[in-house]
Amino acid sequence: MSTRHIYRFRSIENLLGENEELNKQEIYFAAPNQLNDPMEGMKDIFWQGDAIAWKNFFRHYVACLSNAYMEYAISGEEHFKKWRCISIKNPFFPNEESKLQELQNSIWSKFYSNQNIQEYIKTISGQNFKSRINQVLRHINTIHHLASITIVEEHSIRGFRAPVKIDPDVKENINKQIISEINRCQDIYSITEKDSNLEAIIERVYLTGKLFYDGLKIATIHNSKSEIYQENLEFIKTHFPEAYLYELEKLIYPDWYTACFMRDCNNSSVWGSYGKNHTGVCLKFKVEKEKDGKLSIKLKRKHPHDKLPRIEKLTFHPVNYNAKHISIDFFRTLGNITHQAQAHWFLDEDGKRSTCAESNFSSEEQRLKYWDNFYKAITVKTKDWRFEKEHRLLLNSMVSDLSDKQYRLATYDLSSLDGIIFGIKTDIQEKLKIIEIIKNKCITEGRKSFTFYQAFYNPQSGKIEHEEILKIQF
């Protein structure tokens, strides 16, 4: 192994403020939604399954929607917490004889007994191309209102809510919409049978439809602004289908978290963004280069099931700025569900097995491909970000919940921090505070020296460079 350097930009607030990252020698692993690219971890998910898979997909959706209505009835507008209240991984109840599972069974039986739903499933499962997210969203939006009134009626019959009666005209209009969508799908599928290259055009058509529907939803909410707006009820009635689709990613791969580093520190834009307009600093870390060429660092971290933190070696993953987002076959990549949940996805009422189940990790090669695609998906960014030259440390777990911040804080050994680079506009008082913290740490741990650098703009190279300005020795 040989030694290399890698860089981590931090604001003064993160280093010296409430988090005290420098004093605690901490590295925080952020969730994707805390990063500055909204496309973080985006995957090109597609759906292509048989009738069993699609039927169970609809059943899973109806169960999640039923649980949402139930939780809302219990919690009300103020306390309903959306997906924190609803289990996407297993919305079914373990006790088959429980009243709640009986309710779900009754809802599904009534919903599926609708001939239009059966014909819809038959139609989309007979397609010869991959349905992507906007097409699947259209399918869910199409069945959503029928699922909603079925749920409300059954909840009412079984005493889980006040009595309600749905206008027959409403039901008739909903069924007409489903029939219309079935005919639309059949027309589209007949076209693709003649020319599979039309898939991209068809996806664009679905995207246009989604954007139109999004505008319609906004207009509806805007026009009703004089009324009392119930955000959570509106979520269930209108926004649930799209939210459900994004939650489904949790069935494919585990949640992941990252700490971001850079290969170098000479880009002014990086200093401006991550170095807080050049007022922050850049931590210069000493890392090891393994025999396979990968960089690594040892960190100490607390695990959910351990009493004491443990030291582990984490590998840096370079971000790829030239690749497309990974294509993921939804029905054949359900890697983050239990064996019990697999039965809900891949078996019908008679125990017949879906063909989609045959390719779910039945070989070591498939398992390796599963994890290879996972890491590729979360280390891909568009070319617009290539100036960052980012390397990532990653955390994920199939067995432990890492959402609690305490499990996403790691500490580094002071020997790994090779130096600190001050930004062009770092305040002198902040510099002195940083120097004092490092001085005390070096004395405590017996370190003989530590080097500080100053960043500056070099007009000859057109880059931000740095030179040593202070080396404290003991």
Q: What is the pLDDT of residues 397-407, one digit of tens each?
A: 988 899 999 99
Q: How far is CA 406 from the centre of its chain?
A: 20
What tokens appear for 19 in the block? Answer: 């988090």
Alpha helices in 158-198 (DSSP H): 168-194
pLDDT of the residue at 341: 85
For the stretch 257-269, pLDDT in tens is 999 999 999 999 9
pLDDT of the residue at 72: 86
pLDDT of the residue at 452: 97
pLDDT of the residue at 396: 94
pLDDT of the residue at 226: 53
The average pLDDT across 386-413 equals 94
Q: Please say if the pLDDT value at position 17 is more than 80.
A: yes
- Report whether 391 contacts 316 (CB < 8 A): yes
The average pLDDT across 404-427 equals 96
Tell me the average pLDDT of the chain: 89
Q: Please say if the pLDDT value at position 468 is more than 80.
A: yes
- CB-CB neighbours of 144 under 10 Å: 20
Percent of the chain with pLDDT over 90: 60
Q: Please say if the pLDDT value at position 240 is more than 70.
A: yes
pLDDT of the residue at 168: 86
pLDDT of the residue at 115: 96
For the stretch 320-378, pLDDT in tens is 998 788 899 999 999 998 888 888 999 998 999 999 887 667 678 888 889 999 999 99
**Residues with Cβ within 8 Å of residue 312, at least 6 apart in sequence:** 298, 299, 300, 301
pLDDT band at 114 (very low <50, low <70, confident <90, very high): very high
375, with CB counted inside 10 A (0-12, 13-18, 19+), is middle
pLDDT of the residue at 359: 64
C-alpha 151/C-alpha 111 separation (Å) is 9
Helix (H) or strand (E) segment spanning residue 468: strand 463-473
pLDDT of the residue at 323: 72
For the stretch 261-302, pLDDT in tens is 999 999 999 999 999 999 999 999 999 988 888 999 999 999
| Residue given tokens 């010869």 in the structure block | 128
C-alpha 420/C-alpha 281 separation (Å) is 7
pLDDT band at 39 (very low <50, low <70, confident <90, very high): confident
pLDDT of the residue at 97: 62
What tokens appear for 324 in the block? Answer: 């497309």
When mean pLDDT is compared across 158-162, 246-250, 467-471, the lowest value belongs to: 158-162
pLDDT of the residue at 268: 95
The average pLDDT across 243-262 equals 94
pLDDT of the residue at 227: 61
Q: Please say if the pLDDT value at position 470 is more than 70.
A: yes
The average pLDDT across 426-438 equals 97
pLDDT of the residue at 195: 66
C-alpha 448/C-alpha 433 separation (Å) is 20
Q: Please say if the pLDDT value at position 197 is more than 70.
A: no
- CB-CB neighbours of 117 under 10 Å: 22
